[in-house]
Structures are given as C-alpha cells and as structure tokens.
Structure 1
Amino acid sequence: MGTSPRRTTMADVARHAGVSLKTVSRVVNQEPHVRQDVVRRVQDAITALGFRRNEAASRLARGGSVLTLGLVIENISNEFYSRLAKAVESAASAHAALVVFGSYEERADREVMIIETMYGRGVDAMVIVPAAGDHAWLAEYVASGLTAVFVDRVPEGMPEVDAVLLDAGAGGRIATEHLLAYGHRRIALVSDDDPLSSVRARADGYRAALRAAGVAADPALCVTGVFEPWRVEQEVRRLLALPDPPTAFFATNNRAALGLVQALRGHPGPRPAFVGFDDFEMAGVFDPGITVVRYDVGRLGGAAVELLLARLLDPARPRQRVIVPVELVVRGSGELPSRG
C-alpha cells in the first residue's frame, strides 16, 4: 500500500514565501497591518503549494481579552487523558483562561494538523502530549512564537523544552521490585511504543530492577508496540502458552492492564501476578483488585498550566522540567506468589 502525500503546512508556506509562520497566520486570518506585497507573496505560496486552511477554525471568534490555552492529547476516550483534560481545565479556570482540546488518536499527521490549526487561530499557548516520532518540525513553531509545555513525554528531536513528567523510571522499577519480592523471576513486560520517552523510561525501570536482582531480562517476554486491549489479550495468551511461561506481568499503561484482565479470564493454569502503570476507576472492582503505579493527575495538569503561564510572563526564563512522583497501590493482583 502506498503512503498518502504529506499535507502542506503553514511552515511550508512560510518557507516558500520567505516569511515567518506568524506572518502566514496573520495573512490566512486576514489580520490588518500586513504589507500588501507580503500578502501577495503569501497568497502566491498558498496557491502554488495547494495549502488549505481549516475554515471552521478560522471562523472561531478570538477574544483578545481571554487567554486561550490548547491541549493536544492522544485520545480523550482514554481515562488518563480525560482526567488530564479535566485537570488542565480546572487549573486554567483559576486564571480565567479558556481551554480548547484536540485528540490526534495516535496519528502523527493529525497531531501536526491540530497544532497548526490552534496556532493559526491564535491560541496563546499549548499543553502537548507529543506523539511518537521526530518533532523537529515543531521547533519552527516554537521559534516563531508558540509557547508550549509538554506533558508525560519529551518530544523526539526537541530535548530542551518545558516539560512535566512522571517519574516513570521509578514507577517501572518499583512495580518490578514488587513482583520480584513475591518470588517471580520470569516477569513479562507488556508495553506500547518504545520510542515514546515515557514508555522507554518505564521499560528501563523494569530492566534495572531485574538487573539489580541478578535476573536476566528475557527478550522473549518483552512485548512492545501494542496499544489496544484486544492486542494485549492476544499477546498475553501467546506468552502464557510458552513452554516456560511468565509467572508475572508488568503492564506499562491502563490499556495494557485491561488487556491482561481479559486474557486471564478463564485461564486454566496458575494465575500470574501483575502490576499496571496508571490507575483507573475500575481497578479496585476486579477480583483480585489491580495493583498499580499511581500518581496525581491533578498535579500533572496543574504544573503544566503553571509552567505555561510562567513562560508567557517571562519568555527568556530557563527551560524547566517538573517531575511528578509515583507510588505503588497494593490491591491483590501484584501480590500473588510465584508457583513457577
């Protein structure tokens, strides 16, 4: 199957016309006080490149007296992101700021479109949970005046940014140490996309705990790149069917934990232990309850908004990283002893 052509962006138009991104935004939104020769150059570039702006976004009113923050996330239907959205909105409302949302649903091209649309309609600053993949393209927007704080992940290709991160490495370590303490040595890792900095840190913590215990990490027990619970369920069933199956699992997010629960329903052999990363509403309802690595999502969202406001007030301030601590919540699933 061939790949679809890359969508033309405002950054492409700016390069073609030899102007800044901000100038393109002003022309697209028909703002006053742009020289006519510049307007013509931008319009010629738009025609030559076939750029299409988002008309719905362009029609939105932009009240100059209201601070508008954008939140760019992976998928609002995931409980982590819905709780993060609520936390950001709550923190923003304390400063009489408006929040607009966009979900890119694991599609990097949609992430570009959302950020560009928000930038083009005059959003003052953004909280971004970046997708996997190189984000060097975003550096152009930051250089042109976009104020952004990144949450949970550091964008690849942009190491020097304001960010609010979980202590993900510590989370992976304490989850694995907990399973080791109950006698488990064949501990499987079920994870999503390794290139994501937060996922990589959780896996690094898992491997560090095994190494400290003198246990070799078995690559055959490490599953990465699975997002949907049904895919996790398939992979867990495959691992449990091995001649020497894992006796415990570490799931690096709430979707993986749900897939594990589905896979273990009716499992005929000894029930493996497992610990998840991310708490969720139903974690205490299952029998046994799901032991998780938990953190304060309100603190995550609140710190992101505070960093944004600080950056808006002082654009020259040093870049900052805020680390939000994690804790282990014991509910039963991680306390099953090894029978292997």
Structure 2
Amino acid sequence: MTRKPTMADVARYAGVSLKTVSRVVNQEPHVSADLQRRVQDAIAALGFRRNEAAARLARGATMLTIGLIMENISNEFYARLAKAVEAAAAEHDALVVFGSYEERPERERMLVESMYARGVDSLIVVPSAGDHGWLAEGPRAVFVDRVPAGLPGADVVLLDDVTGGRMATEHLMAHGHRRIALISDDSGLSSVHARALGYREALEEVDEALVVKGVFDPWRVSHEVGRLLDLADPPTAFFATNNRAAIGILQALRDRPERPAFVGFDDFALADVFNPGVTVVRYDTARLARAAVDLLLTPSDAPRRIRVPVELVVRGSGEQR
C-alpha cells in the first residue's frame, strides 16, 4: 500500500493549521464554514481517512482490535471459524470485527483498507484466489485455510488438505469403489487444489470426465451430480471438497433411485441426522483459530506455516456399495 495521507498533508493542501484540520475531523464547534469547506475539499482530494486507532489511544482506550475477513459468514465453516476466533481473541482481551467478501477480490481489498483506516490493528484473512501482493506493505496479517497468492513470506495456518483428500478417497476405494467423482470449487484456491491432489494421489488413474471444478452453490452441485449419474458409465462414489458440495450431493440424491457412496470435506450441523449419516473429513476449528491468533500476537521475522491435522468421521454415506 502507498503511504496514507496524514492530517499534516491535509493542512498543507488546504493552507490551514494542523489544529484546524483536527477540529474539523473531530467535528469540534466554532470552525467557520469557509475553513470547513477547505479542509473537507482537501480530505476528498487526498483521500484522507481518520485513524480510529489513534483516536482510541487519545481517549485512553487500549483494546486490541482484530479484523476477520472471510468469504461468506453465512457458510457454516466461516460461522464456526468466526466464533472460534472471537473466543481465542477474548483470551487476550481483544475485540474481533468481521467482514465477508463473497469471493470478490475487489471487495476483499476494500474490506482490508476500510478496516485498516478505521483503526483495526491486525487481520486474520481467509484469502480469495486473487493476488495479494498489495498486502505486503499493509497491516499485519495472518492467513487461514488458504495460502495467499503473491505473499510467499506470509504466516499461514492450514488444514492438512492433501491428507484429507487422500484419506477420503482411500476410504471409498476400500469399500470397492474405483469410479469416484470429484466435486470441487475454484481450483485456484490452495485448499481446493490440495484436496484434489490427495484425491489424485489415492486414485493414481483419474477419469477427468468425473472431475467437476468451479461449482460453489449446492444447487449447481446438484445439477452436476445428476449429470454425472446420467452418464453411460456413471461414478459409484463422490468426494466433495467442502460442506456446500456435500449438501449439493444430498440434494441431488433426494429424488434419484441411485445411492452412490460419498465423503465430504468439512463437517456440518446436520451431517449425522441423515440416514445414512454423512461421512466427513473433520478438523478442530478452535485449534485453527487459536493458532491464527497466536501467530498474530507473536510476530516473527521468518514466515511460519502451521498445519492442523484432520480426521475421518465414519457415519454411513462413505460405506455404501
């Protein structure tokens, strides 16, 4: 990020004193309309934003504020992560504010800059697939679940995605399946790529006709699952790389006679309610969040990468033949 304009820059541009700029910014009374206009014009021209962190310190406030930026907090994974980050931050008397960018890199950047301008001290980010080189000079950040493109020196907390993908696929193979379809979203995301890599390592020979990429919504997954099941040589099992894909598979199978096996990556609230229950690759979200907060509060000159282990939870859907 380029250097942010200061109140001193605004004062020079407007041709007024620093005290006058401070009074206008803090909405103090008894500033003439002409001076207010000159200062506001300078603020607009320079793109100045008040530093809320400095304002807090001036008031004697010292609470640390952490920004958590995610794809979509309505997704159960992100809701659980938000709750876990908030709990971990509370142990350090820190406040957490949230923002969702819904896989739009331009909104992600807007959220980062907006939080920074409003005094957020540091960030935990689940990065989009876009380049993040622009964050190299920005606020301190730790990344979760995905490696940020363009930031090779970033601190990152990841799941053991390759092992999870391999574990899910090998479990299906152990139950006699060889035509196993992969249902995934953006392969540009490091987590999705790694889970697919585990799938490929387990199968060794992959029928690319059974590989679906770039589907985010359950209804699209449902459509793709139906299409695959209508093939002349359909898959007998599925591996879903996230909870949305697993839900889409359930939607597709609701109205079909076939009962293929499937394993999902990410647990979700109703996974053990269905009959059979949904077999998933699961992990400790609290551990993921705690590791991110710990990295954030213990800066290091050397980049750090933590990998959180995963486990297979057998409930029935992956054991069908």
State the TM-score bracket (shorter-chain normalisation).
0.7 to 0.9
Aligned CA distance change for structure 1 residues 71 and 183 (closer, same or farther; 3 Å) = same
Asked if 1:332 corresponds to 2:311, the answer is no
What amino acid sits opposite 2:181 in the alignment? A
Aligned to 2:31: none
Q: CA deviation at 1:48?
A: 5.9
Taking the TM superposition and a 5 Å limit, the aligned residue runs for 1:1-340 are 11=1, 14=2, 20-21=3-4, 24=5, 27=6, 30=7, 36-37=11-12, 51=47, 62=56, 64-141=61-138, 146-211=139-204, 216-269=205-258, 271-311=259-299, 316-337=300-321
What amino acid sits opposite 1:305 in the alignment? V
Task: Say if 1:133 and 1:156, in contact at 8 Å, map to a contact too.
Answer: yes
TM-score by length of 1: 0.81
Task: Say if 2:162 and 2:194, in contact at 8 Å, map to a contact too.
Answer: yes
Aligned to 1:4: none
Aligned CA distance change for structure 1 residues 336 and 319 (closer, same or farther; 3 Å) = same
Q: CA deviation at 1:317?
A: 3.3
Task: Say if 1:187 and 1:248, in contact at 8 Å, map to a contact too.
Answer: yes
Q: Distance in 2 between matches of 1:58 and 1:310?
A: 23
Q: Distance in 1 between matches of 2:242 and 2:94?
A: 31
Compare CA radii of gyration and give the structure with the larger one.
2
Aligned CA distance change for structure 1 residues 292 and 121 (closer, same or farther; 3 Å) = same
What amino acid sits opposite 1:259 in the alignment? G
Task: Say if 1:190 and 1:223, in contact at 8 Å, map to a contact too.
Answer: yes
Aligned CA distance change for structure 1 residues 47 and 97 (closer, same or farther; 3 Å) = closer
Task: Say if 2:81 and 2:289, in contact at 8 Å, map to a contact too.
Answer: yes
Aligned CA distance change for structure 1 residues 46 and 134 (closer, same or farther; 3 Å) = farther
Residue-by-residue CA offset, 1:46-96 (whole Å, 9 max, x unaligned):
7568x596x9x9699735411111100111100100000000000100110
Q: Distance in 1 between matches of 2:14 and 2:169?
A: 59
Alpha-carbon RMSD: 2.5
Q: Distance in 1 between matches of 2:42 and 2:200?
A: 51
TM-score by length of 2: 0.86
Q: Distance in 2 between matches of 1:265 and 1:234?
A: 12
What amino acid sits opposite 1:92 in the alignment? A
SS at match of 1:113: helix
Q: Distance in 2 between matches of 1:110 and 1:117?
A: 10
Aligned CA distance change for structure 1 residues 186 and 164 (closer, same or farther; 3 Å) = same
Aligned CA distance change for structure 1 residues 59 and 119 (closer, same or farther; 3 Å) = closer
Task: Say if 1:60 and 1:121, in contact at 8 Å, map to a contact too.
Answer: no
Q: Distance in 1 between matches of 2:54 and 2:72?
A: 23
Gaps of 5+ in 2: 16-39
SS at match of 1:90: helix
Task: Say if 1:62 and 1:121, in contact at 8 Å, map to a contact too.
Answer: no
Residue-by-residue CA offset, 1:252-290 (whole Å, 9 max, x unaligned):
000000000000112123x10000000011000011100
Q: Distance in 1 between matches of 2:302 and 2:92?
A: 23
Moved over 3 A (4+): 33-40, 43-49, 57-64
Task: Say if 2:89 and 2:293, in contact at 8 Å, map to a contact too.
Answer: yes
Q: Distance in 2 between matches of 1:48 and 1:94?
A: 42
Residue-by-residue CA offset, 1:151-192 (whole Å, 9 max, x unaligned):
000111112211110000000000000000011010000000
What amino acid sits opposite 2:213 in the alignment? T
Q: Distance in 2 between matches of 1:46 and 1:330?
A: 59
- Aligned pairs, how many? 295
SS at match of 1:140: coil
Q: Distance in 2 between matches of 1:248 and 1:78?
A: 25
Identity rate of aligned residues, in percent?
A: 64
Gaps of 5+ in 1: 1-10, 15-19
What amino acid sits opposite 1:124 in the alignment? D
